[in-house]
Chain A
């Protein structure tokens, strides 16, 4: 064996790379199978979705999506025949099952609620978190360590442990079943995570940047805005994704505190009832659509996440 092909001391060997690759692929497959199953189910007909043995190959149908967005009523075949031609694809689909579309379902407003509450609370948590993290990082805050520990301690127990007091409190304050109430709640849960994550990122940004800006004629807020924020984007993006995932997926509080106008998608989707029980294709369709925003958001911010720590003009 020649010297040049001798293995490097620092680079992983070909074998360990192969093993690592295999583990990652296996993990990815295990993670993606349930998602694929949901995606597939959303295009099945209700009988196919509960067929035993489960069907891997099936005739795709958009009945699940039609059922998700509409409410339907059963009619006699005579009545259906007396109607004019079907007005759309969904209309045609449901008529085959002796039903007519009665109106839109609640899915869309629930989905919009989810968007408003999740993005609203993420914005608030990241905004407050960035400012507090900057404060903790740059100023001499009395009892800073204790305060930071206190902030973290709000995450020592599962948030749902305080569900009953919050439920009572919200009822008194009139925050039950309001978007504002849910935004406040998710912000409160996420802000501790945001402060801790962002403090780490901001600590890494040398103070000299703001000091230089302040000497150059800027106020502290301007210096923060123009020199600290642009360099903290990576951290802010990472924090925002964590906050959004929590707020978007949260089920327990949403189920407890929202029932009508402010209900989010997670407690709504399982309540989609079809004929003779759960309408699985509609549930799967709702879940599939529900996954889209978080996927888009993560892909959009992926660049920020991957960019890592910028190679700044500061040498240490």
Chain B
């Protein structure tokens, strides 16, 4: 196993820049997820780490060695494809043993290794079956088996659960994380599914238009989104934004939104007057008739333990997550109270988050993970 260090990585296809000056470090044994919408450059980054694409610029270090220009087969990594890429003309045993065959391992040893791996993944009963007849989850396990059988320096996975049914997916998310906890393999996992990312990752990089918008633990990314894109991409429903104008002074603890004063975490930097946005997670909104920040109920979505309430305000619809017991009718006028300690402030122009007391506990996105 090894650490992966990506420095100023860049990839251009003609005029189109797929990946722009990416920098991140995946520590040894870490489960790292690259998250972003399709076309954001996450798969391209992964393919560059794998050696399937050559970067236009920058460096990739694998366990301290520069592998930027090495061929895929010289990097000692394993890759799990979205479509699994199991060879249809080989059975399960041959598929899993295929990487070992490349190393010229004696067949008796291949046999033992394949059987060990199959046991680990609980697919030992399928070894002599054809891969064509396997169910989605089992195909996924065979693909994983082919990856781990070689004990490579790291695993790269490109949306490996993307084609599975929801039922299998939840199971596999669990299995993948459990497998990771057992073998502690450095893993880079690409997905557009925030639930997968949040539930499995030690670290997440959120990408958009070839740029890493934020790099940090799932908690940091959820609680302290670095940009409006991240705030909007993570969370279901996503973070609400209420616009407000004027600048911010260092030390300010209050802003005015739609004529109502709202307490916010203490601002840590001066911001010249500009269009700003207040970011509120749905679960940080409560209904309180005394509040001056008002809206009308637009609709509700019942989810069992909670409900999502859409409230029409002067600045568009915002969504609140409140206990399911509260009875609400469309058209009711309500007051909104916000959980001041957990609010985010953004500069609308750049989308960048304003530094506030929320960030005091943050440590630049790095560390705090063992």
Q: Which residues of A contact B (CB under 8 A)?
A: 206, 208-209, 211-219, 222, 226-227, 230-231, 310-316
Contact = CB atoms under 8 A, between A and B. Distances in A.
A222 B104 CA distance: 13
Given A214-B71, A215-B75, 4 more contacts: A211-B72, A216-B73, A230-B89, A313-B86
16 contacts: A206-B83, A206-B85, A208-B85, A212-B81, A213-B98, A213-B102, A215-B51, A215-B77, A312-B88, A312-B132, A313-B85, A313-B86, A314-B83, A314-B85, A314-B88, A315-B136
Contacts of B81: 208, 211-212
A58 B166 CA distance: 74
B87 to A, nearest CB: 6
Contact of B79 (A206, A211, A231, A315): A211
Contacts of A311: 88, 132
A215 B79 contact: yes
A68 B22 CA distance: 78
B50 A215 contact: yes
B158 to A, nearest CB: 9
A216 B85 contact: no
Interface in B117-154: 131-132, 134, 136, 139, 146, 150
B346 interface: no
A311 B86 CA distance: 12
A312 B85 CA distance: 9
Nearest to A218: B102
A216 B84 contact: no
B102 A313 contact: no
B103 interface: yes
B73 A313 contact: no
B73 A217 contact: yes
A216 B51 CA distance: 12
Q: Top 8 nearest A-B pairs by Cβ distance? A: A217-B102, A313-B86, A216-B99, A208-B85, A312-B88, A212-B85, A313-B131, A230-B89
Query: Which of B73, B79, B131 has the most CB atoms of chain A within a 10 A radius of its CB?
Result: B73
A310 B132 contact: yes
Contact of A214 (B72, B86, B146): B72
Interface in B85-114: 85-89, 98-99, 102-103
A313 B135 CA distance: 10
A310 B89 contact: yes
Interface string B312-356: 000000000000000000000000000000000000000000000
Given A231-B88, A310-B132, A214 B73 contact: yes
B52 interface: yes
Contact of B150 (A213, A216, A312): A216
Contact of A227 (B87, B103, B136): B87
Contacts of B71: 214
B163 interface: yes
B78 interface: yes
B144 to A, nearest CB: 13
Nearest to B76: A217
B336 to A, nearest CB: 46
A313 B103 contact: no
Query: Which of B52, B75, B102, B132 has the most CB atoms of chain A within a 10 A radius of its CB?
Result: B102
Contacts of B139: 313
Interface residues of B, number: 30
Contact of B84 (A211, A217, A218, A313): A313
Contacts of A226: 87
Contacts of B78: 215-216
A46 B83 CA distance: 66
B288 to A, nearest CB: 51
B79 A209 contact: no
Query: Which of A212, A214, A227 has the most CB atoms of chain B within a 10 A radius of its CB?
Result: A212
Contacts of B73: 214-219
A312 B84 CA distance: 11
Nearest to A223: B73
B59 to A, nearest CB: 20
B103 A209 contact: no
A314 B79 contact: no
Contacts of B75: 215
B102 A216 contact: yes
B37 to A, nearest CB: 21
A230 B81 CA distance: 20
A207 to B, nearest CB: 9
A172 to B, nearest CB: 46
Contacts of B85: 206, 208-209, 211-212, 313-314
B311 to A, nearest CB: 42
B279 to A, nearest CB: 39
A114 to B, nearest CB: 34
Nearest to B134: A313
Contact of B99 (A211, A217, A222, A313): A217
A231 B139 CA distance: 18
A310 B71 CA distance: 30
Contacts of B98: 213, 216
B79 A212 contact: yes
A195 to B, nearest CB: 24
A311 B150 CA distance: 27
Nearest to A316: B83
A227 B95 CA distance: 11
B102 A314 contact: no
B72 to A, nearest CB: 5
B316 to A, nearest CB: 39
Query: Which of A215, A216, A219 has the most CB atoms of chain B within a 10 A radius of its CB?
Result: A215
Contact of A313 (B72, B77, B87): B87
Query: Which of B71, B83, B134, B150 has the most CB atoms of chain A within a 10 A radius of its CB?
Result: B83
B52 A215 contact: yes
Nearest to B78: A215
Contacts of A310: 88-89, 132
Interface in B33-90: 50-52, 71-73, 75, 77-79, 81, 83-89
